[in-house]
Structure 1
Amino acid sequence: MALQWMILSYVVAAEAALALLLTLPYPKLLKNRLVSLISLILQPALFILPFAGFQLLDIYWKYEHRLSCNSEICTAAERDRYEKSVYKAQRNVILCTTACLLYWCIYRVCKYHKEVESLEEVEKRYKNE
């Protein structure tokens, strides 16, 4: 299980770096090439959405079937282990939602850039007529 979360955290870090690269101001030619490169990467990177969704379902299932330690029979070590697992699950939920949100943001920025590019071409054609 730790490998899955490590992979997801690396993907989130890469998505954050791509989102930062997309939002920085660049010259027009460099920006166009960067957006086209990232657009090519987006389709294979779509695997992150079902992967994160499956991880969220796994967290939910484990949360529903977790043994709670609320009675006075539990020792302090068991309570600590229970609280640690709850905090870990909360961290992993944030990681999964961040992966999905960052992917969506990158997709929308690329799409908006392409729409602006096409509108500029239409405007240029109207000016030439």
Structure 2
Amino acid sequence: MALQWMILAYVVAAEAAVAILVTLPSPKPIKSRIVSLISLILQPSLFVVPFSAFQLLDIYWKNEHRLMCTGEICTAAERDRYEKSIYKAQRNAVLCTASCLLYWCIYRICKYHKDIESMEEVEKRYKEE
């Protein structure tokens, strides 16, 4: 189970790096090449959305079926383990949400950049006529 979260953490880190790379100011030819390269990578990396959704469902199911440790019959060690599992579940839910949100942001930034390029081409054609 830890391998899935480690993979998701690396994916979120890579998405954050790509988002920073796409939003940094750079010369127009370099920016268009970067955006076209990232656009090619976006479609295969769409796997992160269903993977994150499945992980969120797993977190929800485990949360619903978790044994509660709130009474006086719990020892201190059991209570600590229960709280640790709650914190891990919250961290993993944030990780899943961040992966989907970052993917969507990168997709929209690339789409806006392509739309702007196409509008500039249309404007250039109208000016030539």
TM-score range, shorter chain: over 0.9
Aligned mates of 1:68, 1:45 — CA distance in 2: 38
Deviations 1:1-49 (A, max 9, x none): 0000000000000000000000001100000000000000000000000
Mapped pair 1:86 → 2:67: no
Which AA in structure 2 matches 1:70? T
Aligned mates of 1:14, 1:20 — CA distance in 2: 10
Unaligned runs of 5+ in 1: none
Unaligned runs of 5+ in 2: none
The total of aligned residue pairs comes to 129
Q: Percent identity of the aligned residues?
A: 78
Deviations 1:69-121 (A, max 9, x none): 01100000000000000000000000000000000000000000000000000
What does residue 60 of structure 2 align with? 60
Q: Which runs of 4+ in 1 moved over 6 A?
A: none
TM-score, L = length of structure 2:
0.99
Aligned mates of 1:8, 1:97 — CA distance in 2: 11
Aligned mates of 2:37, 2:3 — CA distance in 1: 28
RMSD, aligned α-carbons:
0.3
